[in-house]
Amino acid sequence: MDRYRVKPGTVVRLKDWEPGDTSAYSGGKEQAPQELDRLRQSLVTLQETLWAEKRRSVLVILQAMDTGGKDGTISHVLTGLNPQGVYVQGFGVPSTEELEHDYLWRAHEHTPQRGKIGVFNRSYYEDVLVVRVHELVPKDVWSRRYDHINAFERLLSDEGTTVLKFFLNISKAEQKQRLEERLAQTDKRWKFNPDDLAERRLWDKYQEAYEVVLSRTSTEYAPWYIVPSDHKWYRNLVVSSALANTMQRMDLQVPKITFDPQKVRID
Ligand code: ADP
């Protein structure tokens, strides 16, 4: 999945990242479910070892344009994991109390404790995305945040949290289709939010804001992956395999036993 990882220092132009790409998996949509199952199996084992080791944790950050598939990714990738060891935290419009603190305050308390996988459905990146696009704070305020975020993620990484970040990259045409589906299908209509149309009109501004995020905050210790997400099956494979590869590289170890099993007698 290395081809989708943004190397630190890369200047990202999203027009060079094809949302419909499926080139890293030759099996196609037909064989994708088996492959996803295989990846889930390894994630189950990795999660169990992370939990047993209880020394480190994993933070997965998901960002996307509306309809980008954050919810679908969470349910497909995390299905089957032990629910005791994984949780999802969403970040919506900040409350009054949250606005009375710095923008990282509300995130820090939800970072994963040792042994757990935490998933952020949206995150403090909103504070340089929606906040930047809508100028919710002045430029001199948001423009300093990229450095804060890098420093914050460095802190998490130094203290034992492996951070990995996924931008689910859909095309504008695919978004149109997904919005139309939401409107047309009665069981999906609840997901349709007329405000999404206003945001869609700001598509180019959001793309630009994402390009800056991806260019400035992909680091060795907290890399961004730009996930081709027009095809849901492919998006799920890319996210699961990047997560599984990252956790494999953590070289997780179950704790050494402090007793001699030969000498244990169970009456
Ligand atoms: P989702 O769209 O992820 O399913 P919601 O419908 O609850 O979830 O939307 C969350 C909304 O909160 C989004 O419109 C997002 O832009 C907004 N939001 C998140 N963080 C912030 C922030 N820091 N400042 C302003 N708006 C934010």
Q: For tokens 């099993």, name the residue.
A: 261
Report pTM: 0.97
The domain covering 2-252 belongs, at the CATH homologous superfamily level, to: P-loop containing nucleotide triphosphate hydrolases (3.40.50.300)
- pLDDT reading at 1 higher than 90: no
- pLDDT reading at 63 higher than 90: yes
Neighbours of 63 (CB within 10 A): 22
Instruction: Give per-residue pLDDT as tens, 126-155.
Output: 999 999 999 999 999 999 999 999 999 999
The candidate with the shortest Cα–Cα distance to 127, out of 166, 161, 91, is 91
Tell the residue nearest (CA) to atom 10 of ligand 1.
92
Which pair of structure tokens corresponds to residue 85? 């060891």
- pLDDT reading at 203 higher than 90: yes
Which distant-in-sequence residues (6+ apart) come within 8 Å of 8 by Cβ? 218, 219, 220, 223
* % of the chain residues with pLDDT over 70: 100
- pLDDT reading at 9 higher than 90: yes
Instruction: Give per-residue pLDDT as tens, 85-133.
Output: 999 999 999 999 999 999 999 999 999 999 999 999 999 999 999 999 9
Average pLDDT, the chain: 97
Instruction: Give per-residue pLDDT as tens, 11-43.
Output: 999 999 999 999 999 999 999 999 999 999 999
| Residue 66 CA, closest ligand 1 atom number | 2
State the pLDDT at residue 51. 97
User: Separation of 88 CA from ligand 1 center, angstroms?
Assistant: 15
The candidate with the shortest Cα–Cα distance to 102, out of 132, 144, 155, is 144
Check pocket membership of 230 for ligand 1, CB cut-off 6 A: no
State the pLDDT at residue 89. 98
| Residue 121 CA, closest ligand 1 atom number | 3
Check pocket membership of 124 for ligand 1, CB cut-off 6 A: no
Determine the residue of 62, 75, 91 to mutate for testing ligand 1's pocket, defined as the one with the most ligand atoms within 8 A of the Cβ atom: 91
Determine the residue of 88, 106, 126, 131 to mutate for testing ligand 1's pocket, defined as the one with the most ligand atoms within 8 A of the Cβ atom: 126
| Residue 195 CA, closest ligand 1 atom number | 14
User: Separation of 66 CA from ligand 1 center, angstroms?
Assistant: 10
User: Separation of 146 CA from ligand 1 center, angstroms?
Assistant: 19
Mean pLDDT of 69-95: 96
Which pair of structure tokens corresponds to residue 163? 């951070």
Kindly report the three-state secondary structure assignment for every residue of the chain. Answer: CHHHECCCCCCCCHHHCCCCCCCCCCCHHHHHHHHHHHHHHHHHHHHHHHHHHCCCEEEEEEEECCCCCHHHHHHHHHCCCCHHHEEEEECCCCCHHHHCCCCCHHHHCCCCCCCCEEEEECCHHHHHCHHHHCCCCCHHHHCCHHHHHHHHHHHHHHCCEEEEEEEEECCHHHHHHHHHHHHHCCCCHHHCCCHHHHHHHCHHHHHHHHHHHHHHCCCCCCCEEEEECCCHHHHHHHHHHHHHHHHHHCCCCCCCCCCCHHHCCCC
User: Separation of 218 CA from ligand 1 center, angstroms?
Assistant: 22
